[in-house]
Structure 1
Amino acid sequence: MKNHNHSHDVHDNREVFEPTHPERFAAAQKSTWVSIVINLVLTFLQIVGGFFSHSQALMADGLHSLSDLLSDVLVLFANRHGNRHADANHPYGHARVETAATLILGVFLAALGVGLLVTAALRLQHPGELHAVNPVALAVALVALIAKEGMFRYMMAVAKRVRSQMLVANAWHARSDAASSLVVVVGIGGNLLGYTFLDMVAAAVVGVMIGRMGGKLALEALSELIDTGLDAEEVAAIRKTLLDTHGVRGLHDLRTRKMADNALVDAHILVDPRISVSEGHYIAETARNAVLDKHHVLDVMVHIDPEDDMQSKHNVHLPSRPDLLVQLGECFSDVNFVDYRVVFHYLDGKVDAELYLPVNRQSQAQAAELQARCDKLVEHDPVFRSIYIHSQHAQE
């Protein structure tokens, strides 16, 4: 018995794993819009201010703010398109939309960071051509530093109020942005004190930070697009949940793959080979629901195996049910097996047959005689390993 059981609707699973809880969703949306407005203003002030004050560091930090702005827009885009329900063309949902957009953004930021770093390195080779920046650059850099630190404190307060780990992560990202602005403040300040090369050094540092962020985003997105599995600890936890399910005797071929913030799971479970198909299906559904309840998983596909696949692969060459009934009929021409309930078990490259005979149509003596003939048949038969006769009362 091998049954391929899976969800008919990948969104029938647990509400707790919906992409957003209403209050958290509203808080995330509001904080994202606040971040967009602040980064939009900072991008304009820093790039324009850096251009007119001749500060490469301030312009680089402006591009850093632009990258944050693009990231915020990506979040809104993902919330709008990535969380749509599954449809006929996208049976697993649209979460990969967010992944693809993240990959594009990551590549763009990595290229931008490398460009800033190369430009700064080339300019630093000619220190005599570096000049003092306008003091306005320092004022703009301080405004950016204060704004980003304020954004960190605001986001952290919201995250604690709604208890959202995602918003906590966003808050610390804002703090890292404040760190880049601090580097710019130091670089511009050093430039104004006569160390003109420090502005360019600060620009190079910001370029490294942007490139590092872009590379990290791109690698994570690429890892997901090539179906990278969950970490070993989470896979072990899922394995334990499946094995703890009553009726599951073993487990193999457990596979996982990430999809945005969720995961897809595929597993083969071993069950008693002589239980009914419906009981095997029940065990599979129980195991599936246990994983959905306890883990951050979008969907689980459970395959039911009566034995290890290395053994069951030999069963595919065995005759089908109609052929087996014909073979039994040829050996026992006086018994019409089509009229009786016959159960075949395909195990270890052989077939075990169970034949249920009503006693009012076949006497106990005849049943015993038929059992003896069956035992003699299986001694030399290459297909049947056993044929067992069950005598039962027939319905009148």
Structure 2
Amino acid sequence: MLQDNRSAVRKILLITLGLNLLVMVLKAVVGLVTGSLSLQADALHSVTDSANNILGLIANRFASPHPDRRHPYGHQKFEAVGALGIAAFLGIACFEILQGAISRIFQGISPVAISVPELSILLLVLGINIFVAFYERRVGKQVNSPILLADAQHTMSDVWITITVLAGLIGIWQANTLNLPQLQWLDVVLAFPVALLVFRSGWKVLQENLPWLVDEMAIAPEAIYDLVMTVPGVVNCHEIASRGVLGRQVFIEMHAIVNAVDVESAHAITEEIENRLTERFSPVRILIHVEPPDYKSDRISFTSDAN
């Protein structure tokens, strides 16, 4: 049975939006005060965090799991579209970070001045990011929300980015103390792994959500076949197709040959098929085309052969 968890998702997105705005402001202020390129890039990444939350709220508004006249298969793909928007924001952030780092290399290194209070603020920012990432992921798994899971993945990348930037700034702080100006290059050098981490997060979000939008197979047809063939009265099943995301919503279609003498008996057999598939793969919607007992087919599913 489908559950509409949009109110829970909306609540989490609003909470994380407020926290991400706070993190963004703190990073931007410290980045501008210290002149740190890597921290300014991290602040830019946090801008995408807030934009992602807003995008998620918009997608959540339209992502009802319940069908209607215009959307008989529900609206959950809106959440996947929102997750792809997050991937796009991450790509933009990656480009901006790399552009800033390369520009700084050609224009020359500007000294970065960092102090203990500013490092303390960044530790606070790191704590907030860790809380947001684990909180979103826990609730996302509970309510099967792709937008929350994607945003948690995004925020987790922010955690590693902040750790990387913080380590570099600690090195620069020590460089100023020990009079080692060459360590100022740490700020620019660390901007590159930050960009790679951002790109990796976007790629992972893309991989997790694109199969849903292109109707990639959700369940191996052999697994469905083996389960259906355990139902008494089933002679054969073939032309099996599935789409969706297991654990969120799956649609299954098949042709079944049943040993039944009347419509009532055939109906009882298909009901048992649906019950067993629902028990194994819920939530699922199933369409079964019943064929006569003398019909023959050995094609379990579809192939990529051109016809």
What range is the shorter-chain TM-score in? 0.7 to 0.9
CA separation of 1:106 and 1:152: change in aligned 2, threshold 3 A: closer
Distance 1:283 1:258 in 2: 25
Q: Distance in 2 between matches of 1:185 and 1:308?
A: 67
Is 1:101 the counterpart of 2:101? The answer is no
State the identity %. 26
**AA at the equivalent of 1:95:** Q
CA distance, structure 2, for counterparts of residue 109 and residue 173 of structure 1 = 8
Cα deviations by residue, 1:120-167 (Å, 9 ceiling, x for unpaired): 2443356x43422443653442221122234456668x76xx993859
Gap change, CA 1:179 and 1:104, over 3 Å in 2 = closer
Q: Which residue matches 1:300?
A: 286
Q: 1:152 to 1:310 in 2, by over 3 A?
A: closer
- Aligned with residue 252 of structure 2, among 265, 281, 284: 265
Rounded to whole Å, the distance in 2 between the matches of 1:154 and 1:226 is: 30
Structure 1: which amino acid aligns with 2:275? N
Once the two structures are TM-superposed, the CA of residue 81 in structure 1 deviates from its matched residue by 1.6
Deviation at 1:51, TM superposition (A): 2.9
Match of 1:210 among 188, 193, 198: 198
Q: Please, what TM-score do these two structures have when normalized by structure 1? A: 0.62
Partner of 1:91: 72
Q: Deviations over 1:49-106 (max 9, x none)?
A: 3234311111222222233333333443343320252111111011111122222331
- The answer as to whether partners of 1:250 and 1:269 remain within 8 angstroms in 2 is yes
The structure-2 alpha-carbon separation of the partners of 1:171 and 1:114, relative to structure 1 and needing over 3 Å to count, comes to closer
Q: Structure 2: which amino acid aligns with 1:281?
A: H
Aligned match of 2:232: 246
Residue aligned with 1:64, SS: helix
AA at the equivalent of 1:296: S
Q: Is 1:132 aligned with 2:112?
A: yes
Superposition deviation, residue 18 in structure 1: 1.9
1:227 aligns with 2:215: yes
Alignment partner of 2:159 out of 164, 167, 178: 178
Residue 232 of structure 2 aligns to a residue whose secondary structure is coil
Equivalent residue in structure 2 for 1:43, among 24, 29, 51: 24
Q: Which has the larger radius of gyration?
A: 1
**Residue in structure 2 matching 1:255, options 233, 237, 241:** 241
Structure 2 CA distance, aligned partners of 1:211 and 1:309? 47
Which of the two has greater helix per residue? 2
Q: Aligned partners of 1:61 and 1:219: how far apart in 2?
A: 24
Q: How does 1:2-81 map to 2 (within 5 A)?
A: 14=1, 17-20=2-5, 26=8, 28-81=9-62
Q: Deviations over 1:355-385 (max 9, x none)?
A: xxxxxxxxxxxxxxxxxxxxxxxxxxxxxxx
Q: Which residue of 2 aligns with 1:141?
A: 122
Aligned to 1:197: 185
Structure 1 residues 68, 242: CA separation in 2 closer, same or farther (over 3 Å shift)? farther
Secondary structure of 2:234's counterpart equals coil
SS at match of 2:275: helix
Aligned to 1:265, the other structure's residue is in SS state strand
Structural mapping, 1:361-380, within 5 Å: none
Task: Please report how far the alpha carbon of residue 301 of structure 1 lies from its aligned counterpart in structure 2 after TM superposition.
Answer: 1.0
Work out the CA distance in 2 between the residues paired with 1:282 and 1:131: 77
Structure 2 residue ranges without an equivalent (≥5)? 176-180, 300-307
Quickly say closer, same or farther: Cα 1:74–1:300, change in 2 above 3 A: farther
| 2: CA distance, partners of 1:302 / 1:285 | 10
Equivalent position amino acid for 1:265 in 2: I
C-alpha distance in structure 2 between counterparts of 1:149 and 1:184, whole Å: 15
